[in-house]
Amino acid sequence: MKHVILIPTYNESIAIVELLNSLSTLHNQRDFDVIILDDNSPDKTADIVDNLRYPWVHVLRRPGKAGLGAAYRAGFAEVLKSDKYTHVITMDADGSHRVEDLPAMMDAQHSSELSITLGTRWIAGGSVVNWPLTRQLLSRAGTAYARIALRIPLHDLTGGFRIYSVALLRKLNLTQMTATGYCFQIEMAMASDLAGASKREVPITFVERINGVSKMSRAIVIEALWQTTLWGLSRALKPNADKLHYVKSE
């Protein structure tokens, strides 16, 4: 198995150095590459990463800030150009996704060729650090609503710490996806479910960033709520059409 980690960045010059240094320790034990998806950060994040000179880290320089979904879709397209990798890991740059949780996620083997593994906060063994109770309740409520509306039996549909099999990504119509913010995580979970992917959840500890600026905003929350409602109605009224939109035909 060969993993590649996709990490989107925008003005993460401090956090990305800390993350890559932590990943370098794990790299002594595991075989993986890293692709930084940088949206032309004004703080020169891409240049800083290049100057670290890790041979297993590469930078995909994008023209400008276009949202989380667009960055990941560009990363997926880059990975799918070759047959080098079997699995793709998605991970935040700000340290909220702990490197310590990666081995357990990587070891959560699937017998199915089409698979998705989620690092989950809201199951036994999972937790969050530095979040007020109000934000915890908001996150729990949001994922519970998405779970009911989309009828997907997963407990952290908005989380971004995941592993997709490359076979699953090749099965999906990635260019047909439109979500830009954190709503993209819900869209990918829904598409994976429609493709019949096997699902596994691994408990993680999510640590809210201390340094830097969070990318979360009210607009992102509203987008996720509105789009999830539309997807839920579509799945209820036109389930086959929805599948044809997201899953490639045989």
- pLDDT tens, position by position, 186-233: 999 999 999 999 999 999 999 987 655 555 556 666 777 888 888 888
Burial of 111 by CB count in 10 Å (0-12 exposed, 13-18 middle, 19+ buried)? exposed
Q: pLDDT of 80-133, one tens digit each?
A: 999 999 999 999 999 999 999 999 999 997 888 999 999 999 999 999 998 888
Q: Check: CB of residue 61 under 8 Å from CB of residue 46.
A: yes
pLDDT average, residue stretch 56-65: 96
pTM over 0.85: yes
The pLDDT of residue 133: 87
Q: Which of 125, 100, 112 is nearest to 30 (CA)?
A: 100
The pLDDT of residue 6: 98
Q: What is the C-alpha to C-alpha distance for residues 189 and 229, in angstroms, rounded to an integer?
A: 15
- Helix/strand/coil percentages in the chain, nearest 5: 45, 20, 35
The pLDDT of residue 238: 75
Nearby residues of 133 by Cβ (< 8 Å), 6 or more positions away = none
Q: Check: CB of residue 192 under 8 Å from CB of residue 172.
A: yes
Q: Which of 200, 9, 6 is nearest to 110 (CA)?
A: 200
In one letter, which amino acid is 30?
Answer: R
Q: Check: CB of residue 77 under 8 Å from CB of residue 50.
A: no
pLDDT average, residue stretch 128-139: 86
Pairing of strands 115-120, 162-165: antiparallel
